[in-house]
Amino acid sequence: MKVATSIVIGRTANPNLATQAVMQAMHKADITIANSVLLLLSSEFANNPQPAIRAAAKAGNCTQVFGCSAAGIFTENDWVLDAPAAAAMVFSGDVGIQLAKSDIAQCAQQALLTLTAPNAINSTWLNDGHDRYGGVSGDVVGQGPFSVWQNSKGESSGRVEAVFSGVKLASSASHGLKILTKPKKIQSTETFDITLLDNKPPLFNLQKAWEADCKGKITAKDATLPLHLMMAIYANSAEAIMTGEFSQTHLISYDEALGSVTLAQTLKPGQFLCWGIRDNETAQNDLRQTTQTLLANLDAKPDFGLLFSCIGRGPFYDGIDHDLNVITATLPKMPLLGFYGNGEIARIGEHNQLLPYSAVLSLFAALQTK
């Protein structure tokens, strides 16, 4: 088995970027024919990705080119946002990409690599009996255009699914949220509003927790709840939240007079909720722990990895992709490919979920042949 990556950045969305990315990856892998190529293109290609897809197929001497467009893409060596680019991971030997429908038996045993456009997501498909991991294709604002492809051509349904032959897989999501409060039971709601939490208006609990977290970091005039950084963390039990098997949703607004908080998701009385905030240091520590857990679960040295990261993580904080640095420091020289998307897909508890502001890391090790 041979796997390698390459990323090429240009000034225009030229198909030659895909050619160069595949050829450079094949040179690193010391191969002349790939059995499959995982190709990621920047959003500048999204309106017309087919020439670049064909170029990648020709360069790899293969027909299985699988991938999507995204706002930003990366390998273990570099990352790019806001510039035309192509990144490729090439495979040879017993390891390669197989479309999900082509191997029903293996699909039942291995989670599905899932790439989708925002408008192709629905809950029935997301939880159709298969474990999933992957990300949502798109541009920075999540409005489009979006492109996904398989078999070296665009997929009109807006989503593609695949498995990897000849490998075992360990995959998990890293939320990277600093939890500010203990889980409390929701007593009452009105559509998207939480009106009573632990028998009190929830805004008081939220404001107090945030002020305690940022004590000494802000001035009085800046003491406004940063809703764009805060998340509601919820589950059907407090224990589920504490073990990381929770869902999360955005805070939309709040009512100071009533003390209610409006969320992007409707919740039910009886569920448990706590407040969290996006935090760079917490995100790094959580991803570092996730990586170590996956290594233990894989019980082998990984041969390659995939990372699906939210556009609001990584370089969002200070222009440096600390998530990528965590993985490359822990697993130096491991081929890694990924993109910054508009949502991440992972198995959380008993369900697949579409996650915000998360990073989904998947590690792969070749099966030992007798």
Domain count, the chain: 2
Among candidate residues 49, 44, 38, the one with its CA nearest the CA of residue 85: 44
d(CA 236, CA 342): 26
Task: Identify the domain containing residue 210 by its residue range.
Answer: 177-277
- Same domain, yes or no, for 123 and 233? no
Q: How many CA atoms lie within 13 A of 186 on its CB side?
A: 25
d(CA 334, CA 365): 11
121-138 in b/e form (b: 16+ CB < 10 A) is beeebbeeebbbbbbbbb
**277, 300, 318: which is the final residue of a domain?**
277
- Same domain, yes or no, for 296 and 264? no
Digit-by-digit pLDDT tens for the chain (370 residues) are 899 999 999 999 999 999 999 999 999 999 999 999 999 999 999 889 999 999 999 999 999 999 999 989 999 999 998 899 999 999 999 999 999 875 544 555 789 999 998 888 888 999 998 999 999 987 555 555 678 999 999 998 899 999 999 999 999 999 989 999 999 999 999 999 999 999 999 999 999 999 888 876 655 445 688 898 899 999 999 999 998 889 999 999 999 999 999 999 999 999 999 999 988 889 999 999 999 999 999 999 999 999 999 888 867 667 788 899 999 999 999 999 999 988 999 999 889 999 988 999 999 999 976 5
Decide if 197 contacts 218 (C-beta within 8 A). no
- Same domain, yes or no, for 127 and 139? yes
Q: What secondary structure letter does DSSP report for 344?
A: E
Q: How many CA atoms lie within 13 A of 236 on its CB side?
A: 3
**231, 258, 277: which is the final residue of a domain?**
277
**230, 254, 277: which is the final residue of a domain?**
277
Decide if 105 contacts 86 (C-beta within 8 A). no
Beta-bridged to residue 249, according to DSSP, are 232
- Same domain, yes or no, for 193 and 237? yes
d(CA 138, CA 107): 26
- Same domain, yes or no, for 142 and 186? no
